[in-house]
Amino acid sequence: MKLSTVAIDVGYGNTKSAFPLGSDIATNMFPSLAPIASTTSLTPHSGSILRSRDVVNVLVDGARYEVGPEVSLSASRGNTGRSLSEDFVTTANYAALLAGALHYSKATEIDRLVLGLPVHNTQKYAGYLKDRFSGELEFGWGPVHVRSVLPLPQPLGTLITFIQQSGRQYDPDNSYLVIDVGYFTTDWVVARGYTMDDSRSGGVPGGASSIYQQVASLIAQAEGEPVDSIERIDKAIREVKPMLFFNKDLDVRPFLEEAIAVSRASVKEVQARVGRTEDIRAIILTGGGANLYAPAIKAAFPRNTVQVMDAPCFANVRGFYTIGSARQMSKPS
């Protein structure tokens, strides 16, 4: 299928994508876990009793990885599960996750592929992404042709989505602060209109995963057992459900209330870089950890309006799709 624009944000926590589906814009998300694919499967031998998981096998540099919405959450415990390195975009895991997003878009030809990067390493890795994912790509199911790649700082996508949703209420004469709380990093941009203020924008390690790790530590202290169920803690918090821990359904909310305090360190970094905020019309929170960091951000900026985006996980990638589509339409025919 030929698509004019596909937007993909391969985050440390989740991989999100936006692509055209008829006259609509479809979105997809799955955990950023890419374990080595199993060489055995019992599902084909179970008749109609067992359902196959919603995953896809992708081939990267001669190795086969498993990615998708129903990838095993226990995969994060192995060396091939979740990557949290600064050079994440150069790893085979990143390529496997991007390949999975392309598979779910059903694209075989793409005019413009828009990819997100953390603010603090956008300049460092933008050229790499252009070179690595332009041209003919092969991930094990036939070639995918990509004409051009456009790397963008992640919070910029949310800004565009916010502008679209605000309509005439958006104030282009004053600045907005967009804070994107991801899984491993917290990124932010200050922008007036469509102009980003580089001197007040940036990113630091520390996102939702730092809170999940603290929850795990607190549970371990309370239960007297080590806890490595970070993915299950994440799922329990998002779905507001108890987490099975041995023989009990454990309510993680009391641990979360205490763990949220670790978000203050990242928020102080934002404060230091942004400086005084009397010129900020509103602070826009986005990313999977937006609601977790909201209390600390509201406390740090008490005189500013703080707004959490609707469906914050998809705000960036929807904005990326808008940018890519607009650039594609502006190309001379």
CATH number for position 42: 3.30.420.40
Q: Is residue 267, in this structure, part of any structural domain at all?
A: no
Q: Using CA atoms, how far apart are residues 220 and 201, in angstroms rounded to an integer?
A: 37
Predicted confidence at residue 215, as pLDDT, reads 97
Q: Is residue 202, in this structure, part of any structural domain at all?
A: no
pTM of the model: 0.88
Q: Is residue 12, in this structure, part of any structural domain at all?
A: yes
Element (H, E) at 26: strand 24-31
Neighbours of 275 (CB within 10 A): 11
Taking 50 as the threshold, does the pLDDT of residue 45 lie above it?
no
Total tally of structural domains belonging to the chain: 1
Q: Is residue 208, in this structure, part of any structural domain at all?
A: no
Mean pLDDT of 149-174: 92
Taking 50 as the threshold, does the pLDDT of residue 77 lie above it?
no
Across the chain, mean pLDDT equals 90
Name the residue range of residue 32's domain: 2-154+315-330
Q: Is residue 182, in this structure, part of any structural domain at all?
A: no
Q: How does strand 14-21 pair with strand 248-250?
A: unpaired
Cβ-contact 46, 134 below 8 angstroms: no
Q: Using CA atoms, how far apart are residues 77 and 74, in angstroms rounded to an integer?
A: 6
Q: Is residue 169, in this structure, part of any structural domain at all?
A: no
Predicted confidence at residue 76, as pLDDT, reads 47
Taking 80 as the threshold, does the pLDDT of residue 34 lie above it?
yes
Nearest CA to 181 among 324, 68, 54, 285? Answer: 285
Taking 70 as the threshold, does the pLDDT of residue 47 lie above it?
no
Least reliable range by pLDDT among 39-53, 164-178, 232-246: 39-53
pLDDT tens, residue by residue, 198-211: 999 999 888 999 99
pLDDT tens, residue by residue, 118-155: 988 899 999 999 999 999 999 999 999 999 999 999 99
Q: Is residue 215, in this structure, part of any structural domain at all?
A: no
Predicted confidence at residue 41, as pLDDT, reads 56
